[in-house]
Amino acid sequence: MIDKIREHIAEVEAFIAKSHDEVETFRIKYLGKKGLLNDFFAEFKNVPNEQKKEFGQTINKLKTVATEKVNSLKASLSNEDDSKGIYGDLTRPGEPIELGSRHPISIVKNKIIDIFSRIGFNVSEGPEIEDDWHNFTALNLPEYHPARDMQDTFFIEKDPDVLLRTHTSSVQVRYMENNKPPIRTISPGRVYRNEAISARSHCFFHQVEGLYVDKGVSFADLKQTLQYFTTEMFGKSKIRLRPSYFPFTEPSAEVDVYWGLETETDYKMTKGTGWLEIMGCGMVDPNVLKNCNIDPEVYSGFAFGMGIDRIALLLHQIPDIRMFSENDVRFLEQFKSL
C-alpha cells in the first residue's frame, strides 16, 4: 500500500495542466471528499501497527505534494490569463489597422495650399465671428452700400456689428493691419451666408482667398499667378478673364478655365461652352489699402477668391454639395486612397 501511495506522489509531481478545468479535475481526484487521500486515510485502520508511522507520513506527504501542485498550477494559469488579457495572444497574426479617410474638402484645401506655397504664399487665418469693420467697411463696403445685399448675412444676437463672416477677405484685412508689405498670403476657411440650402448651395461653405501686395504689382502678375494655379490644379492651361464687379477690387474679373467638351459630363458642367467659372479676382482697391494703413501711392496688389466646395464637386464629380456635411461614412470612405 505504501508503494502505491509513493507511485501517486511521483504522478502528482510530474503532473502538468494547460487549463483551469484540468487543475480542478486533478484536485477532486486527490483532495476531494471522495478523493484518493480519503480512501488512503480510511485504510489506515487496517495497516499493521509497525507500519502505521511510515504509512501516515507517506499519506501526509501525498497530501502536501498534491496541495502545493494545485496551488502552483492555479497561480501559473492565472498569471498567463492576466498576460493574455493585456497583450493578447502574441503568436496570433496581426490584424490590419483600419485607416481613416480625409474629407474631400480637406483634400482640395491642402492641394490649393500646397500649390500656392510653392510660389511664396503663406497661410493666414482669422475668426469666423467677425465685426462689421473687418467684414464690410474696411473692404470698401460702408454702411448702406448696395453691394452688401450681394451677401445675405447672419448677424449675432441682433447686433448689427457682430456677424458670421461672409468671406475670408476679413482675414486679409486683419493681416494687412498687422503686417507691412510685401504681403503674399492665402486665407482658407469656412464662411456663412443666409442662403437656401440645395444640391448646389449651402448656408455655409469654404473659401480660399489670396492677396499679394508689393511695389509695382500689376494685373499681368495676377493673370500669370492664376495661369500657374489652374495648370497645377486642373491640368488646364487655357483661361480667360471676364470683366466683373467686386467692391474691394478695381478692375475686377471672373476667371474661367477651359474644361473642354470631351464627355457628356463636360457638356453638362459647362452648359455646352467648354468654359467653367472657377473664381473672382482683381486689383486691390486703393481705398482698401488706405483702410489698412498701406499707402496706395507706393504699393499696389491683387486679390482672388475661390470656393473650395465647388472645386471639390468638380474634381470628384460629386452631385450634391450637402454630402460634404452629412457625415455619411459610406461617402467619406471613398476618399481613403487620396
Q: What is the pLDDT of residue 151?
A: 61
End-to-end CA distance of the chain: 80
Q: What is the pLDDT of residue 264?
A: 82
Torsion angle in degrees (nearest 10) through CA of 273, 274, 275, 277: 100
Q: What is the pLDDT of residue 147?
A: 57
Q: What is the pLDDT of residue 28?
A: 79
Whether the link from the prior residue into 96 is cis, omega within 30° of 0, is no
Distance CA(30)–CA(12), nearest Å, equals 9
Distance CA(112)–CA(234), nearest Å, equals 11
Q: What is the pLDDT of residue 145?
A: 65
CATH superfamily of 104-335: Bira Bifunctional Protein; Domain 2 (3.30.930.10)
**Residue 23, Cβ neighbours under 10 Å: how many?**
20
Distance CA(60)–CA(199), nearest Å, equals 87
Q: What is the pLDDT of residue 295?
A: 95
Residues of the chain predicted below pLDDT 50: none
Q: What is the pLDDT of residue 7?
A: 76
Q: Where are the domains positioned within the chain?
A: 2-87, 104-335
Q: What is the pLDDT of residue 81?
A: 60
Q: What is the pLDDT of residue 84?
A: 56
